[in-house]
Amino acid sequence: MTRTLSILGATGSIGASTLDLIRRNRGQWRVVALTANGNAAELARLAREFGAEVAVVADEAALPALREALAGSETEAAGGAQALVEAAARPADVTLAAIVGCAGLAPTMAAIKQGGTIALANKEALVSAGEVMTAAVTKHGATLLPVDSEHNAIFQCLAGNDSAEVRCITLTASGGPFREWPMEQIAAATPAQAVKHPNWDMGAKISVDSATMMNKGLELIEAFHLFPVGLERLRILVHPQSVVHSMVEYRDGSTLAQLGPSDMRVPIASVLAWPQRMDTPCAPLDLAAIGTLRFEAPDELRFPATRLAREAAQSGGSAPAVLNAANEIAVAAFLAGRIGFTHIAAQVERSLANPLPPPPAALEEVLMVDREARARAEELLEKL
Ligand code: NDP
């Protein structure tokens, strides 16, 4: 049976991994919407290849280039924030939410309102909107499936079990490229060094988040919303090899773990085929070759981001959205060479020290908190 699919953020790393799987299973999928920010040429190439109904660039300035590149094809071209939301609102059995940052929130919410399956990679949207997003999922009868490898692992380890029986959930973390670096060396880390992840090939923003460990902090908040066992039952454990993607320990002392290659096509395949399974081209794990699995406790002195995220989750309300917005601004400033690596977490901490806005109760309020927190984070950067 053919199923319909939309990919928000089709030109990114997750988009490419997803389309690789679709390419190998062409007869089973019909593509509705593909979106990008400004990369019109790549978006048009993908839209033609997959015969998408509509292709949307969020950046309206890229629309003329998209129209030109799609001339003569069956695909409609559109541009701008509203067009992105409208494309996400077109009925699709599965919507892969893979835009980077809170920019993905409004289109993801539009997809949720259709009541289909949302395959969520865009963790920043859930971190910022938290209860607003999970309430919308319940209200509209949508199904939220986690693509993030750790959450996908947890989802698989929880299958068939009652979450009331869970003693704790452990998110594993590679520790990033600076795991073994001393403080002084970390302070001097460059963007080129930060985006060079030891195990995963990902977009620039999440790679920097992995280097600061903010990625694990965002994932802690993501897990808090996806698996409501309470913050005190969520742990982080550094596992440099990224073979064990996360674990669930039950009250009888059994721990279930999900293992797999460091290739996002594995968790993406698991949500595309859910509740069944599908083939992937990934090389199977060779545990005899790996030999030993290593684990260590996280170091929150060198990598304070996980502490900041835990505190934001504990505070609740608007704190996670402020944390996320401040981090997005700081990471962009770091990548642009405006601030040093350790300033990223320091800037986030300063943003959270400001009086926080009231808890957002609806999408518009989350977007307002996000906008204001970005403006405030920019002001703090200017002062720095
Ligand atoms: P990339 O940077 O590779 O791709 C981001 C995608 O979002 C691109 O299609 C980009 O379009 C689009 N985009 C960027 N900014 C905007 C905007 N303002 N409005 C609309 N679209 C925009 O990111 P990744 O694929 O690495 O990550 C995507 C999401 O998935 C992130 O939330 C990340 O945390 C999460 N994730 C990623 C993993 C990975 O392995 N990469 C693993 C787990 C989670 P354009 O190409 O035109 O710029």
Helix (H, G, I), strand (E, B) or coil at 227: coil
- The domains located in the chain, with CATH, are 3-146 (3.40.50.720), 151-261+293-383 (1.10.1740.10)
Q: Closest ligand 1 atom, CA of 101?
A: 32
Distances (CA, A) of 295 to 21, 174, 200, 238, 315: 31, 9, 18, 6, 29
pTM for this model (two decimals):
0.98
Amino acid at 118: I
Identify whether the C-beta of residue 45 lies closer than 8 Å to the C-beta of residue 33. no
**Looking at the predicted structure, is the pLDDT value of residue 198 above 90?**
no
Amino acid at 256: L
- In the chain, what percentage of residues exceed pLDDT 90? 97
The more confidently predicted of residues 234 and 160 is 234
Q: What are 10-50's pLDDT values in tens digits?
A: 999 999 999 999 999 999 999 999 999 999 999 999 999 99
The answer, yes or no, to whether any atom of ligand 1 lies below 6 A from the CB of 200, is yes
Amino acid at 122: N
88 C-alpha to ligand 1 centroid (Å): 16
- DSSP-derived secondary structure letter, 162: -
- Backbone φ, ψ for residue 34 (5° rounding): -125, 135
| The 244-250 sheet, strands edge to edge | 234-238, 166-173, 244-250, 255-259
Q: Whose C-alpha lies nearest to ligand 1, atom 42?
A: 148
The answer for residues whose C-beta is within 8 angstroms of residue 129's C-beta and 6 or more apart is 105, 109, 321, 360, 363, 366
The reported pLDDT for the residue numbered 384 is 79
Average pLDDT of every residue of the chain: 97
**Looking at the predicted structure, is the pLDDT value of residue 136 above 90?**
yes
The answer, yes or no, to whether any atom of ligand 1 lies below 6 A from the CB of 79, is no
